[in-house]
Amino acid sequence: MSVKTLEIDGKAIAIEEGATILQAAKENGISIPTLCHLDGVSDVGACRLCLVEMEGSNKLLPACVTEVAEGMILHTKTPKLQNYQRMTVELLFAEGNHVCAVCVANGNCELQDMAITVGMDHSRFPYRFPDRPVDVSHEQFGIDHNRCILCTRCVRVCDEIEGAHVWDIAQRGEHCFIVSGLHQPWGEVDACTSCGKCVDACPTGAIFRKGSTTGEKERDRAKLEFLVTAREKRQWTR
Amino acid sequence: MDLANLIDVATAEQMRQKPLRVNCCTSTGCRAARSLEVMQNLEAAVEAEGLTDRVEVVGVGCMGFCGLGPLVQVEPSATLYDESHRSTALVEDLFYEGVKPAEATSIIGALNGGVTTALKGDLQHPFFARQKKVVREYSGRIDPERIEEYIAVGGYRALYKALFEMTPEEVVAEITKSGLRGRGGGGYPTGLKWATVAKMPAGQKYVICNGDEGDPGAFMDRSVLESDPHLILEGMAIAGYAVGANHGFIYVRAEYPLAIQRLQKAIQQAKKYGLLGTQIFDSHWDFKIDIRIGAGAFVCGEETALIQSVEGGRGNPRPRPPYPAQSGLWQCPTLINNVETFGNITPIVRNGSDWYAGIGTEKSKGTKIFALTGKIRNNGLIEVPMGITLREIVEEMGGGVPDGTVKAVQTGGPSGGCIPATLLDTPVAYDSLVEIGSMMGSGGMVVMDESTSMVEVAHFYMEFCREESCGKCIPCRAGTVQLHELLTRFLKKQATKADLEKLESLCQMVKETSLCGLGMSAPNPVLSTLRYFHEEYEALLQAPIYAVPAYAVPD
């Protein structure tokens, strides 16, 4: 096995041939933002957040799919890249209907984290407010297309790991959406094994477990009574 | 089939042909103007005039002057094989434009000494005279549905030459030496591409012909496929031999039914003669060609998306490298070239690379076909040597703008840019067009006059890219939407100075960060109009709501 040496953000790095720039950076504690990348499934190079600059090239390279080469001198945090990363996240927020306050993934969302990472506190682009549906026909899970960023992680885990290929992309451009089965309600797709891998892969709150959404929150009102009794009467019974 | 058989077929066909050919265009453009009726009437008139022994009506491909179809040309058949017969021909070339079905009879009558009311065209006009036909040499002169006519004008001789007189390495070297560059728009050196595929380890390899011509206003590839399908088949077969592939695919968009029909016919005929399929020319070499039909996505013209589509998947581009030359169709090394590029192969092998390298400029060799459209007198297809200036094309060949002046020329379709009239003296070559912010593109050339708003033009192309984005990467999917909306604000006069800055920065971002060529080039029409027609954008900014107060400078 041969080894390649390169430089990322001024740090000299040696890594085995065939590794990607992203792997090389990660191994050496250099963070590169990603959204469509997911360890364990193939890379598609679609979110364009992991673009890096290489000296001697006027093209930006996607770190997740570019293999390391001998003598590369790479920069991951130039003002240009940071500006583009921020714009990318702005475009994502403007494209869908991302309302953190009512989202199941609030506080545990990779898109939200990414906004903080790239320093995006508002979008300079007007929000598109698209009209997108929610599919809760599946027994255990639901998909809210409003929160989908089309990273296709669900498509890839379902196809490559579970082998069911329930998900795919329908339409094109701004009209793209994640389609289940042959454009059926998710609950009617026979191929779905209800394994839940797509839920775990989804970076946002688009695919979720039922019973965990803000709208479906079940309240335990008896608890309040219990607390009042406990406080007033010193009786810890329910 | 061996060489002697091939020559026999050619001779038999030459003997069969009657001295005079009345060529009637049967390509899509002229068909729409009722050329099939014209042809029927021509045939009936030949019968009626008793000229069947010396006159033959031939349904041919595109003659180029599509703006004034249907076109009919009378040509002595001897000149097809030897130009020197032109001087001793029985009649001078007669060329008729805009022929109505009713006029067909009189055209034949004129051959018998009568008079015709049909509009006579001028073949000495710069539109024709300035052309240099390499790919389109026999377009509009032979019947695309009969392989014998193609063989009679020397068809499949280049394939024979490659197979029996050259090694695959020599063929690649010949193409490299010719200086041919990809005609699909990018201008990548064809020889280098061929050498890469050829050098990959032996095994399954493929050749793909990209006929997914999608630029608005461009119809060069359609015309070549409709007019001379065997030229492309022969070019592909030579490519297959050179790179070591035994299977080729032609990817044609579904919107070109006539091209598909003629290709199917051509493939069948070539197979029947043993010129395609197994044991070509009785050698041990096989090469088969299949047709794949596109399903209406512009992005499938991008090579990696096209490959996905041929495989039966969704036509989405994927990041390169690996390039198709290393890992393409079904992960096999794949040579993918544009229709026009393959159209150049046969002439290069037949006439030699030195002949080809003698045409054009130092870095851009050969000829290029353009679809000249827009506000211009002479619409149609032209094949011109590289290095000709835009002014010669637009003003001399195209005849300029009817009652007006040229404002800009758009080349390269949605990926190209608008070239202002002040830069019309730029030579047409890959590098010179990129330098001025446009590109050669596949060959669309739209001429605009003073009445055209450049912001509207940019808006139109952005709408096109917005609709045609595949949606895989964010900058192209969401960026083109925002760019289109921003341009709409300009057209509604609602844009502010901040919008202008946003437009510029978003263009740059989409250009630099998109995954494939569609996204990378989508902002080009905006960037080039911003560069040359900035004042038009400024003129569309909204009026200030309040008058700007004149502050007194404090002491």
Query: What pLDDT, on a 0 to 100 scale, did the predictor assign at position B554?
Result: 66
* A181 touching chain B per CB within 8 A: no
pLDDT under 70: residue ranges of chain B: 85-92, 547-549, 552-555
Please tell me the number of Cα atoms within 13 Å of B428 on its side-chain side: 29
Q: Is A178 in contact with A155 (CB distance < 8 Å)?
A: yes
Mutate which of B434, B472, B500 to test chain A, going by most A C-beta atoms within 10 A? Answer: B472
CB contact under 8 A, A62 and B472: no
Task: Look up the pTM and report it.
Answer: 0.91
B407 DSSP 8-state letter = E
Residue ranges of domains in chain B, CATH in brackets: 14-123 (3.40.30.10), 154-357 (3.40.50.11540), 367-449 (3.10.20.600), 454-539 (1.20.1440.230)
CB contact under 8 A, A128 and B481: yes
Q: Which residues contact A99 (CB under 8 A, 6 or more apart)?
A: A146
CB contact under 8 A, A91 and B515: no
Mutate which of A48, A66, A86, A123 to test chain B, going by most B C-beta atoms within 10 A? Answer: A48
Q: Mean pLDDT throughout A153-164? A: 94
Query: What pLDDT, on a 0 to 100 scale, did the predictor assign at position B543?
Result: 83
Q: Pick B478's closest partner by Cβ from A66, A91, A124.
A: A91
Task: Find chain B residues with C-beta within 8 A of A84's C-beta.
Answer: 509, 512-513
Residue B471 dihedral angles phi and psi, to the nearest 5°: 95, 5
Task: Find chain A residues with C-beta within 8 A of B316's C-beta.
Answer: 169
CB contact under 8 A, B475 and A91: yes
Mutate which of A87, A129, A145 to test chain B, going by most B C-beta atoms within 10 A? Answer: A87
Task: Find chain B residues with C-beta within 8 A of A78's C-beta.
Answer: none
Residue B514 has a CB neighbour count (10 Å cut-off) of: 26
Q: Is B197 in contact with B395 (CB distance < 8 Å)?
A: no
* A129 touching chain B per CB within 8 A: no
pLDDT at residue A217 tops 70:
no
Q: Pick B478's closest partner by Cβ from A51, A62, A92.
A: A92
pLDDT digits (tens, 9 = 90+) for B69-81: 899 999 888 888 8
pLDDT at residue A68 tops 60:
yes
CB contact under 8 A, A84 and B477: no
Query: What pLDDT, on a 0 to 100 scale, did the predictor assign at position B81?
Result: 85
Mutate which of A61, A125, A171 to test chain B, going by most B C-beta atoms within 10 A? Answer: A125
Q: How many residues does chain A have?
A: 238
Q: Is B140 in contact with B63 (CB distance < 8 Å)?
A: yes
Cα nearest neighbour of A127 on chain B: B482
Give which of B465, B481, B467 is closest to B516, Cα–Cα: B465
pLDDT digits (tens, 9 = 90+) for A13-44: 999 999 999 999 999 999 999 999 999 899 99
pLDDT digits (tens, 9 = 90+) for B514-530: 999 999 999 999 999 99
* A100 touching chain B per CB within 8 A: no
pLDDT band at A219 (very low <50, low <70, confident <90, very high): low
Cα nearest neighbour of B515 on chain A: A46
Query: What pLDDT, on a 0 to 100 scale, did the predictor assign at position A212?
Result: 73
B143: amino acid identity, one letter: D
CB contact under 8 A, A173 and B466: yes
Bridge partners, residue B58, by sequence? B23
Give which of B407, B486, B506 is closest to B453, Cα–Cα: B407
Query: What pLDDT, on a 0 to 100 scale, did the predictor assign at position B213?
Result: 93
Residue ranges of domains in chain A, CATH in brackets: 3-77 (3.10.20.740), 85-209 (3.30.70.20)
pLDDT digits (tens, 9 = 90+) for A113-129: 999 999 999 999 999 99
Q: Where are the alpha helices (DSSP H) in B228-277?
A: 229-243, 257-272
pLDDT higher at A229 or B490:
B490
Q: How many residues does chain B have?
A: 555
Task: Find chain B residues with C-beta within 8 A of A171's C-beta.
Answer: 471
Q: Is A32 helix (H, G, I), strand (E, B) or coil?
A: coil
